[in-house]
Structure 1
Amino acid sequence: MLKSITVTLLLGFMSWASPLVQAGVGSYEFAEPEMAQRFVDLTTVLRCPKCQNQSLADSDSIIAKDLRGQLQMLIKTGQTDRQITDFMVQRYGEFILYDPPFNKGTLVLWLAPFGMVLLGLWALWFFGRKTSGQGAMLTPKEQQQIEQLLADNQAQHRDLKND
């Protein structure tokens, strides 16, 4: 019963949200379907400069709307995807790309995950290794000596208490 209600609510939400997603792209008109597809592709690989965690397609910020309009104009003027992304990088920096290129400026960004994995493996090795338990084991003779010392100590304590 609960599962069917959850599925119904999920389907209802998806049917409600779908026109909203399509409205963002549909409001930009192109002469050819290929141009519209290029627009969709570019707006999903370019990051909103204001929102930072959303693509141009997902963001409702004013700058994202302006950039979508500018993308439409650049596509209509016949610029290639490479020319458009180069223009955006020149204007906003490599931050605007969700998949930045591997170069000196992004070296830390690309190598940091590998460094973190290596650091985690080292920590597992360092803290996970076991110390030898042989040093803590007592021989039967040593155990007998300790028991004798404890017995002597208890006897002295009783003698002091009785005095």
Structure 2
Amino acid sequence: MRALFVLALLIAPPALAQSRVPPPALADTQLADPAQERAAKALMETLRCLVCQGQSIADSDADMAADMRALVRQRIAAGERPVAVRDWLIERYGNYVSYDPPLSGATGPLWLAPIVLLAIGGLLARRSLKGRRR
């Protein structure tokens, strides 16, 4: 009996962690204009969920992602261009919110590292092949 009580205590917190607050109006509701909805959906695919860290806001079930989806749809429905909405979200949440952060001093090494590593790999492969030919 005591083991059941301990098990119930371990299971209860995750079950109670679900928010009972309903999602914002446009979080899971598509826009009436198909072109605006396509633009909103395309933008949502490029924005990272700040809670999940591996999903876009289009794919995430987190409350924060729902709020961000609603913001994107509201702004696009109001006539803002997706680029302006993206820039606003980056200004508000930082470059981390974007899967394609702009080149800057902080992100420069991330952009340059693959090129440098490919060049080093190419040089090593070339030296290895030259050594085998002799």
Same fold (TM over 0.5): yes
Residue in 1 aligned with 2:54? 53
Q: Provide the rounded CA distance (Å) in 2 between the counterparts of 1:108 and 1:77.
A: 37
**Unpaired segments of 5 or more residues in structure 1?**
1-24, 134-163
Tell which deviates more after alignment, 101-110 or 25-34. Answer: 25-34
Q: Provide the rounded CA distance (Å) in 2 between the counterparts of 1:35 and 1:117.
A: 40
Count of paired positions? 109
Q: Provide the rounded CA distance (Å) in 1 between the counterparts of 2:52 and 2:88.
A: 20
Q: CA RMSD in A?
A: 2.5
The answer as to whether partners of 2:27 and 2:69 remain within 8 angstroms in 1 is: no
Q: Provide the rounded CA distance (Å) in 2 between the counterparts of 1:55 and 1:83.
A: 18
Superposition deviation, residue 56 in structure 1: 0.9
Superposition deviation, residue 129 in structure 1: 5.0
Q: Provide the rounded CA distance (Å) in 2 between the counterparts of 1:90 and 1:111.
A: 24
Residue in 1 aligned with 2:108? 107
Residue in 1 aligned with 2:37? 36
The answer as to whether partners of 2:27 and 2:67 remain within 8 angstroms in 1 is: no
**Structure of greater Rg:** 1
Residue in 2 aligned with 1:80? 81
| SS in structure 1 at match of 2:131 | coil
Q: Provide the rounded CA distance (Å) in 1 between the counterparts of 2:106 and 2:86.
A: 18
**Unpaired segments of 5 or more residues in structure 2?**
1-25
Residue 28 of structure 2 corresponds to residue 27 of structure 1: yes
Superposition deviation, residue 122 in structure 1: 3.1
- Distance change in 2, residues 1:52/1:67 (3 Å): same
Report % sequence identity: 31
- Distance change in 2, residues 1:127/1:33 (3 Å): same
Alignment of 1:124-163 (within 5 A): 124-126=125-127, 130=131
